[in-house]
Structure 1
Amino acid sequence: MRDPTCYKCDCSNHCSIGVPNKELENCPIRASPDIQKKAIELYQTDEFIKRANIISTIVKEQRSMPRLKDTIEFARGMGYKKIGIASCAALQKETKITAEKLTQHGFEVSSVCCQTGGDKRIDVDAPEDFALPSKKGYHIDYVTCNPVAQALLLNNSKTDLNLIIGLCIGHDITFTHLSKAPVTTLIAKDRLIRHNPAATLDF
């Protein structure tokens, strides 16, 4: 089977209504029935997937809720008690608001800033060319972002769910890779337009 290319299809007229696209040879509905069958089996047998799918379906029906409210309702439905936040230092205000909202809704919150530990860039093998030069030409070895420590600290806190607030590309991937708890992004970083990546897709 060729790799699926659903971006070439008007999905609303095909898989969204259960109708395969006959013009695409690699339409997953037609080309990979074994995988589709396996997916259904997992929905029926994997306890985490079963519960998450049920709660997601219920939450999805509340179309007027903002993403934070969606997250709160999902976490409550899953029975989560402790929520971790891995945040960018530049979004401290948003992180504080989020933590306070979660606390108001009965969750315990563990929050770790991206520059936790105060480690220098050179300590994590960052390219020396990216050291910040001073006005006199001297290199200032400034503090690095530390998604590894963020993940390890939240793992140590035994969080049930971790939220990402504004982590850089690469750092968010590293954090997710190491996190023991499920991860979702509450705010995706986009410096150009106030962290709303969908608004910049036409660059």
Structure 2
Amino acid sequence: MFTCAECEKLSCREGRTDQLPKNCPGRLTTLQEEIRKEYRDEILLFARQAALTESKGYCQWTRVQEIIYFCKEMGYHKLGIAFCIGLKQEARMLAKILRSHGFDVVSVVCKNGGTPKSFLGIPEQDKVRPGQFEAMCNPISQAKLLNQAGVDFNIVVGLCVGHDSLFFKYAEAPTTVLVAKDRVLAHNPAGALYCADGYFKNKLFL
């Protein structure tokens, strides 16, 4: 089993093959060689541009700026936004910014289709607001509608855990995440990790 999260050496970062832990993925040299063969043609171009975007704006650009730069350098013209209805204002601002840079923007909200949660077998007491109509989130539809629109690249804004997974599964175009939803931490989920040994210790650890 790989335990990179607990590794104290991270020799891979410096290309030092003489100090690899026993369970390091770097020891699987045959597999690593096979994986490197995947970086060719369009995948090579994509990965190369990702690396160039990283170095170009490192610790200077916001993620929005990185997305804009990456998409321009990749020659993308039509961008898709798959967003949570709770982040409608953020999605609207993102679309406005992207259009100002000359992109065509297609946006699809999570509740599209208006399918009731009962379709998923959700009982009344398990709704967010029992006694009211609640549309289920529909990430498969979001993905298929953006596929149908022929977008070059997708941007996820605040889809729920699991719903985002379904979107990734069904989306045909490459996808990045701009906002990972966390209503408690102002959509900064890493905040829970920074506070895990303090304020959130009793909430996160068993």
Taking structure 1 as the reference length, the TM-score comes to 0.88
Deviations 1:31-82 (A, max 9, x none): x101211122222xx3222111221121111110100110111111111111
Distance 1:21 1:188 in 2: 38
1:51 aligns with 2:45: yes
How large is the Cα RMSD of the aligned pairs? 1.8
Distance 2:133 2:152 in 1: 36
Specify the code of the residue in structure 2 equivalent to 1:73: Y
Distance 2:72 2:151 in 1: 14
SS of 2:154's equivalent? strand
1:140 aligns with 2:167: no
**Partner residue in 2 for 1:87:** 83
- Quick one: structure 1 residues 133 and 78, their matched pair in 2 at CA, closer, same or farther if it must change by over 3 Å? closer
Unmatched segments (≥5 aa) in structure 1: none
Taking structure 2 as the reference length, the TM-score comes to 0.87
**Partner residue in 2 for 1:110:** 106
Distance 1:192 1:169 in 2: 14
Percent identity at matched positions? 36
Is 1:83–1:110's contact at 8 Å kept on the other side of the alignment? yes
Deviates more, 1:59-68 or 1:119-128: 119-128
Distance 2:118 2:99 in 1: 37
Deviations 1:74-110 (A, max 9, x none): 1111111110000011111110110011111111000
Specify the code of the residue in structure 1 equivalent to 2:12: C
**Partner residue in 2 for 1:119:** 115
Aligned length: 193
Deviations 1:140-169 (A, max 9, x none): 342211111111111110111111000000
**Partner residue in 2 for 1:72:** 68
- The structure 1 segments of at least 4 consecutive aligned residues displaced by more than 4 Å after TM superposition are none
Specify the code of the residue in structure 1 equivalent to 2:177: T
**Which among 185, 188, 191 is matched to residue 177 of structure 2?**
185
Is 1:88–1:166's contact at 8 Å kept on the other side of the alignment? yes
Unmatched segments (≥5 aa) in structure 2: 201-206
